[in-house]
């Protein structure tokens, strides 16, 4: 990976870097000042290609980045930072968006743990409503956008009390051909990632994957405890305790909705944001899980299909037995 830019570096003759606010395997996130609009601060996400890839792959990644960035630039929602620019420079791709002041929800959880306190469920539910509104907006666009990395660290609370979903780094665009754009994708964070997303770019993820991550995020906000990851739950389903057991102030309806969102199989989760919203806020009850009808083995299926013949054979055998005895 290329080295991070230094303080005061100017990109595109416009953006003067102030500091690094995040760093990962694909590059850095910088806080920068827009020199054309004095006083405006922005966040610049840097995306670097893997070292050693071919020129053909590099060109394909560049085209995919432009496609994805142009879609993100069209998003306009009060709980999303506005993407204002994107460009390529020195073999790196850059996405420019509003800089969001405030603490992320992971920091807020950590602060509550240090104070040995739980967050007030009423406040958490206000945040949950804003996050669901944001996901509803993303999932119902003409080409639905699936975020794939909902977690407390990617959600900020502004000084005005507004929730902002700040990281677009793992967006997946669901087109008619279900094609996945891979430039800024990843597998998400294990504690908040559904099992189907562990397949990487080929994983069969959709809007219900975001609902799982939202449920895991809400679980931690309500209990101050991170949920067990999906792989561990697959081996031991009883690991996930209801939030109401960890925090008695959490209503049973809320606890049930969180567990519903975190069902292991996507088909067992809410179909969409609105279905989850209705249960989470007590307007409807969680639908009962349909019992799975066991599939009879072929041998027993054959017996059931030939029940009459089987009875006749048994009668003849008994008759032959008594005749032999007499």
| pLDDT (tens digit per residue) in 240-258 | 999 999 999 999 999 999 9
Using CB atoms within 10 Å of the CB of residue 131, give its burial: 0 to 12 exposed, 13 to 18 middle, 19+ buried. Answer: buried
**Residue 169 or 22, more confident:** 22
Measured distance CA(299)–CA(215) in Å, rounded: 43
To the query of whether residue 149 is one of the catalytic residues in this protein, the response is yes
pTM of the predicted structure, to 2 decimals: 0.81
Fold held by 10-98: Phosphorylase Kinase; domain 1 (3.30.200)
Strand order across the beta sheet in which 155-157 lies: 103-104, 155-157, 163-165
Report domain extents, the chain.
10-98, 103-280
Task: Tell me how crowded residue 250 is: count the other CB atoms within 10 A of its CB.
Answer: 22
Q: What local confidence, expressed as pLDDT, does residue 255 receive? A: 97
Please determine, looking at this structure, whether the domain spanning 103-280 carries the CATH number 3.40.50.1820: no
Which tens digit of pLDDT belongs to each residue from 168-179?
Answer: 654 555 554 444
pLDDT band, residue 273 (cuts 50/70/90): very high
Q: Of 81-95, 110-124, 167-181, which gets the smallest average pLDDT?
A: 167-181
The answer to whether residue 110 scores a pLDDT higher than 90 is yes
Q: What local confidence, expressed as pLDDT, does residue 142 receive? A: 85
Task: Tell me how crowded residue 88 is: count the other CB atoms within 10 A of its CB.
Answer: 13
The answer to whether residue 202 scores a pLDDT higher than 70 is no
How much is the mean pLDDT over the chain? 86
Report in angstroms the alpha-carbon separations of 323 from 310, 311, 314, 317, 326.
Answer: 20, 18, 14, 10, 5
* Nearest Cα to Cα of residue 47 among 105, 87, 6: 87
Q: What local confidence, expressed as pLDDT, does residue 253 receive? A: 95
Q: What local confidence, expressed as pLDDT, does residue 57 receive? A: 83
**Residue 2 or 199, more confident:** 2
Q: Average the pLDDT over 270-287 and give the result.
A: 95
Q: What local confidence, expressed as pLDDT, does residue 310 receive? A: 65
**DSSP code at position 24:** E
Residues near 255 by beta carbon (within 8 Å), at least 6 away in sequence:
242, 243, 244, 245
The catalytically annotated residue of 34, 57, 63, 149 is 149
């Amino acid at each position: 990976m290329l080295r991070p830019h230094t303080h005061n570096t100017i990109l595109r003759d416009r953006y003067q870097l102030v500091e690094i606010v995040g760093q990962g395997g694909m590059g850095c996130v910088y806080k920068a000042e827009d020199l054309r609009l004095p006083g405006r601060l922005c966040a610049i996400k840097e995306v670097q290609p893997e070292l050693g890839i071919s020129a053909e792959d590099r060109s394909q990644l560049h085209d995919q980045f432009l496609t994805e960035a142009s879609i993100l630039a069209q998003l306009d929602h009060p709980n999303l930072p506005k993407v204002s620019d994107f460009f390529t420079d020195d073999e790196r791709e850059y996405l420019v968006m509003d800089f969001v002041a405030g603490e992320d929800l992971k920091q807020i959880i950590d602060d509550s743990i240090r104070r040995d306190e739980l967050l007030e469920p009423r406040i958490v539910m206000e945040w949950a409503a804003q996050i669901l509104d944001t996901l509803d907006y993303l999932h119902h666009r003409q080409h639905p956008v699936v975020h794939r990395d909902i977690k407390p660290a990617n959600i900020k609370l502004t000084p005005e009390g507004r929730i902002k979903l700040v990281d677009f780094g793992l967006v997946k665009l669901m087109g008619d051909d279900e094609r996945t754009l891979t430039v800024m994708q990843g597998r998400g964070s294990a504690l908040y990632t559904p099992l189907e997303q562990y397949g990487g770019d080929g994983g069969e993820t959709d809007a219900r994957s975001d609902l799982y991550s939202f449920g895991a995020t809400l679980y931690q906000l309500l209990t101050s405890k991170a949920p067990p990851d999906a792989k561990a739950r697959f081996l031991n389903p009883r690991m996930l305790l209801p939030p109401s057991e960890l925090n008695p102030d959490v209503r049973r309806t809320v606890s049930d909705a969180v567990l519903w969102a975190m069902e292991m199989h996507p088909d067992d989760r809410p179909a969409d944001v609105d279905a989850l919203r209705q249960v989470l806020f007590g307007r409807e009850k969680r639908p009962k899980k349909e019992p799975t009808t066991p599939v009879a083995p072929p041998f027993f299926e054959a017996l059931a299909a030939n029940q009459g013949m089987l009875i006749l054979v048994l009668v003849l055998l008994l008759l032959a037995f008594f005749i032999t005895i007499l």
